[in-house]
Chain A
Amino acid sequence: MRITNNMLIDNMLSNLNRNLNRVSKYQNQLSTGKKISLPSDDPIVASRALKLRTDVAEIKQFRRNVNDAMSWMEITEATLAQIGEIMQRVRELTVDASNGTKTPDDLDKIKAEVEQLKIQMTHLANATYSGRYIFSGFKTDKPLMDEEGNFLIDISDRERIFYEVGIGDDIDINVLGCDLFHRGANEAEAGTTKSHMIDTFDRLIAALESGDVTAVGDMLSEIDVEMENILRVRSAIGARMNRLELTANRLDDDNINFTKLMSKNEDVDIAEAIMNLMNEMNVYNASLAVGSQVIQPTLVDFLI
């Protein structure tokens, strides 16, 4: 084949350009840390990258939801513990008062303590978490009951608050006031319903006031029913917290795994990229050197 000077120059330029393109590709990879900068560089990697980014973002959000759910439930748990203690104290006082050895004066003192405990109990029923009433169902802006145990809001079983902690994985985080303070009832109405638990307190106080020791003793079984109810709610919350912890662990693992996958998919292997870059640089330098040798001389240089 006949080779002309312009062919040599054109070919060398286009080869130089190709080499430089590859140098630029690896330089770009190293400076961005990513295998691709446009979807067309590798559509599969790009599409996986989009999917994984969504997954990681979601996992992080679910993890935040789990944290919030945990805080809410920890507050609920602590409040339930106090409610349990109050009920325990009421039971002790009732047992003490019903043994028939108490003077009316003693019974009066016990009555005074039970009255205080009742007020304490209604305050706990209106416990809040960052300004939201935890037992008020959906009406988190309204207190559950007044100090006489009358429900201030309509509340029903449907008002369970769900947090999403996974795709299609909801967990209800709240304890409903009617369930806890109204012996597992499914609903309560504002104004008309009076809390069973507080009513138990009232009847105990009435019995203590009348000095009828038998009547006081009869209240024990009522108190036990309340205590059982509290225990039931507590164990349910405990079980849910347990589930949350498992979810949290799983999400932490997922986060690590998916982040790793994401990195594997789109991040550049630095060592490999540097090797490739060095290699391409060598090729580029060599082609430059050869070019300067090849293009220069023609027969002109040797004619006289």
Chain B
Amino acid sequence: MSSSTFFGLDIATRGLYSAQRGLTTVNHNVDNVNTPGYSRQVLEQRAARPLLMANGTGMLGTGSEVIGVKRVRDEYLDVKYRSEIQYLGEWEVKQALLEELQVLYNEPSGSGFNTVLNEFYDTLQQLSVDPSSPANRAALREKAIMLTKYFNSVAAHFDYLQNDINEIIYAKVEEINSLADQIAKLNQAIYRYEVSGNVANDLRDQRGYLVDKLAKLINVEAYEVSYGKLPDGRDDMRFVITISGKPLVDHDNVSYLAVTQRKDKLNEEDIPNLYEVHWADGNKLIVKSGELKGYLDVRDGNDGLNGSPDFRGIPYYQRKMNEFVRTFALTFNEGLIHDSQGNLLKVYGHVDGYKLNAADGDSPAGIRFFTMIDENGNPMRSSDFAGLGSDYEEMYRHITAKNFSISMEIYEDATNNICISDRPGEVGNIEILRSLIDMRHNPYMFNEGSPEDYIKTVISCLGVDGQLSMHYLNNQTAITKQINNRRESISGVSINEEMGNLVRYQHAYKAAAKMIQTYAEILDVLVNRLGV
């Protein structure tokens, strides 16, 4: 028995179809060479089912057939990539923001804290050399204003930054919700295509790409779970994304994140009405990494104090500056200073001094050199300041880096109200001033040491944190890049390869065409020339 007359033409046609399908795939790959998230597709082709020859001469080949187009992708690398890029996102944010904080301190430079404090003490020294000079007294007032303004300005900039970050957090939450929405829609589409047994290659790529973006923003886990069996016996797979165990996207269903303004501040240094991020259903959101974590840590981080993130962020540095100005003002004004055992000792402070124009019989002026800006924006009087609390701690708790200021008395009349003499009527007496100058080198003024040591510690700490974040970022960049390279190596489109395939399918097409031509000639002989 032989095969039918036109059987050869059928085989050749199949060959044409296969080659054509191959060319389409090459075309599709080449077009998407730069599409983010795209994974190359390959034709799955096999020999068509052969015919069994009845006369025992074996199987008769029936040509080729295409059984599918598969995307080349390693799901393991996707999981790995997503588990690393979340830290890349976090450290990118932290590194950039820590750099911004350092710029705000402006150290080391000719205009940072160090310079300001040096100049302040220089004018104190100059005053000690000519204590009755109104020019020196005015200079001291100006330098003191410069010192207070430095803190005001840095603290205000920290506030602006905190506010900016707050807005970014809002935007990032919106972005997460929007990505979740898009992924849910894709889930539906993919499910619809695939329920009939197809594979939605390109949609899956798009979804993968969106999940990558989401993973950079917040710690997510993405996986497919079986919901049971489909009528045709396959698993009913649905796609789920969770954040710290709670589903953000459950197939076509999205649980949104939401922000509300905090009624109570997390840190007392915070600006009011910062956003608290939580699940829209009211549950607490646990953010473990991602850009969102980076922003939250820098915005809220107070070294773990009072349940704040265990990170030195804006509130931490605000607190450090507040501590500095409070202790500095307390020591300078009241002459209260710690000894080596940590007890408060009384030495001469500015309150113990007499005015320049004090006469015999006057009592000490009791003027505090540093107070704070009151609610009307004016420097506060010493006496009003004393009314803020019954003890020193209560009084000085009101001073912050933001409102730190010289007192109204010093502001109004620096000549008379700078009190550096420990007796009335002695214009050359600088006993109080000497005590004030001595404080600069008192190693017990702060836990960290003298005033300069304190700030040095704060800035070094920021420097070390910044350096560390840089290291983390570099490491994380390298790791992510390495994984991405492996992904690209597997899934990326290679033009060379595609061109090779192009030539391959082109030749296959030509050959199949040739087969048809040959059969046409054979049939021509059979039909036209036999002359039956």
Bound-state CA distance A137–B465 (Å) is 53
Interface bracket on B: 35 or more
Query: Is B399 in the interface zone, CB < 8 Å from A?
Result: no
B467 lies within 8 A of A43 (CB) = yes
Query: Is A258 in the interface zone, CB < 8 Å from B?
Result: no
For B132, the chain A residues whose CB sits under 8 A away are 132, 140-141
Query: Is A293 in the interface zone, CB < 8 Å from B?
Result: no
Considering only residues 30-49 of chain A, those with a C-beta below 8 Å from chain B are: 34, 36, 38-43, 46-47, 49
B127-141 vs A: 1/0 string, CB under 8 Å?
011101000000000
B34, B107, B130, B500: the one contacting A39 at CB < 8 Å is B107
B425, B462, B499: the one contacting A299 at CB < 8 Å is B499
Bound-state CA distance A36–B459 (Å) is 14
B500 lies within 8 A of A266 (CB) = no
B463 lies within 8 A of A38 (CB) = yes
For A275, the chain B residues whose CB sits under 8 A away are none
B114 lies within 8 A of A4 (CB) = no
A3 lies within 8 A of B115 (CB) = no
Of all chain B residues, the one with the shortest Cβ separation from A299 is B499
Considering only residues 203-243 of chain A, those with a C-beta below 8 Å from chain B are: none
Bound-state CA distance A65–B124 (Å) is 11
B470 lies within 8 A of A40 (CB) = yes
B33 lies within 8 A of A11 (CB) = no
Shortest Cβ distance from residue B464 to the other chain A in the assembled complex, whole angstroms: 5
The answer to whether A65 and B129 touch (CB under 8 A), given A167-B441, A298-B499, is: yes
Query: Is B24 in the interface zone, CB < 8 Å from A?
Result: no
For B452, the chain A residues whose CB sits under 8 A away are 50-51, 54
Report the interface size for chain A: residues with CB under 8 A from the other chain.
55
A4 lies within 8 A of B492 (CB) = yes
For A159, the chain B residues whose CB sits under 8 A away are 426, 428-429
B489 lies within 8 A of A2 (CB) = yes
Bound-state CA distance A66–B34 (Å) is 73
The answer to whether A40 and B430 touch (CB under 8 A), given A68-B129, A141-B132, A164-B437, is: no
B105, B428, B456, B465: the one contacting A140 at CB < 8 Å is B428
For A136, the chain B residues whose CB sits under 8 A away are 428
Of all chain A residues, the one with the shortest Cβ separation from B356 is A141
The answer to whether A6 and B499 touch (CB under 8 A), given A43-B464, A50-B459, A163-B128, is: no
Of all chain B residues, the one with the shortest Cβ separation from A47 is B460
Query: Is B526 in the interface zone, CB < 8 Å from A?
Result: no
Query: Is B122 in the interface zone, CB < 8 Å from A?
Result: yes
Query: Is A1 in the interface zone, CB < 8 Å from B?
Result: yes
A139 lies within 8 A of B434 (CB) = no
Of all chain B residues, the one with the shortest Cβ separation from A139 is B426
Query: Is A289 in the interface zone, CB < 8 Å from B?
Result: no
Secondary structure type dominating chain B contacts: helix
Of all chain B residues, the one with the shortest Cβ separation from A34 is B108
For B441, the chain A residues whose CB sits under 8 A away are 167-168
Which of B95-103, B166-174, B201-209 is found at the contact surface with chain A? B95-103
Q: Which of B455, B470, B485, B490 has the most CB of A within 10 A?
A: B485
A105-134 vs B: 1/0 string, CB under 8 Å?
000000000000000000000000010100
Shortest Cβ distance from residue B362 to the other chain A in the assembled complex, whole angstroms: 15
B459 lies within 8 A of A46 (CB) = yes
Query: Is B118 in the interface zone, CB < 8 Å from A?
Result: yes
A7, A14, A39: the one contacting B102 at CB < 8 Å is A39
For A270, the chain B residues whose CB sits under 8 A away are none
B309-343 vs A: 1/0 string, CB under 8 Å?
00000000000000000000000000000000000
B125 lies within 8 A of A164 (CB) = yes
Bound-state CA distance A13–B470 (Å) is 20
Shortest Cβ distance from residue B475 to the other chain A in the assembled complex, whole angstroms: 14
A39 lies within 8 A of B430 (CB) = no
Bound-state CA distance A41–B114 (Å) is 18
The answer to whether A3 and B129 touch (CB under 8 A), given A38-B466, A159-B429, is: no
For B496, the chain A residues whose CB sits under 8 A away are 5, 298-299
B460 lies within 8 A of A162 (CB) = no
For B122, the chain A residues whose CB sits under 8 A away are 57, 61
For B493, the chain A residues whose CB sits under 8 A away are 4-6
Bound-state CA distance A23–B126 (Å) is 45
A1-23 vs B: 1/0 string, CB under 8 Å?
11111110011001000000000
For B182, the chain A residues whose CB sits under 8 A away are none
Bound-state CA distance A6–B485 (Å) is 9
B118 lies within 8 A of A46 (CB) = no
A7 lies within 8 A of B434 (CB) = no
Considering only residues 457-496 of chain B, those with a C-beta below 8 Å from chain A are: 459-460, 462-467, 469-470, 481, 484-485, 488-490, 492-496
Q: Which of A40, A47, A58, A62 has the most CB of B within 10 A?
A: A40
A137-168 vs B: 1/0 string, CB under 8 Å?
11111000000000000000001011110011
Bound-state CA distance A174–B428 (Å) is 11
B98 lies within 8 A of A164 (CB) = no
B1-45 vs A: 1/0 string, CB under 8 Å?
000000000000000000000000000000001100000000000
Bound-state CA distance A38–B503 (Å) is 57
Shortest Cβ distance from residue B19 to the other chain A in the assembled complex, whole angstroms: 17
Query: Is A64 in the interface zone, CB < 8 Å from B?
Result: yes
For B405, the chain A residues whose CB sits under 8 A away are none
Query: Is B423 in the interface zone, CB < 8 Å from A?
Result: yes
Query: Is A102 in the interface zone, CB < 8 Å from B?
Result: no
For A54, the chain B residues whose CB sits under 8 A away are 114, 117-118, 452
Query: Is B146 in the interface zone, CB < 8 Å from A?
Result: no
B489 lies within 8 A of A4 (CB) = yes
In addition to A38-B103, A303-B499, 20 A-B residue pairs with Cβ atoms within 8 Å of each other are A4-B488, A4-B492, A6-B33, A34-B108, A39-B463, A40-B98, A40-B469, A46-B460, A47-B456, A50-B456, A53-B118, A54-B118, A137-B428, A141-B428, A164-B434, A170-B434, A298-B499, A299-B496, A300-B499, A303-B502
A and B contact pairs by CB, cutoff 8 A, 12 listed? A5-B33, A5-B496, A10-B484, A39-B462, A40-B98, A42-B467, A46-B459, A50-B455, A57-B115, A140-B132, A141-B428, A174-B428
7 shortest interchain CB distances as A-B pairs: A40-B466, A39-B463, A4-B492, A43-B463, A138-B426, A140-B428, A299-B499
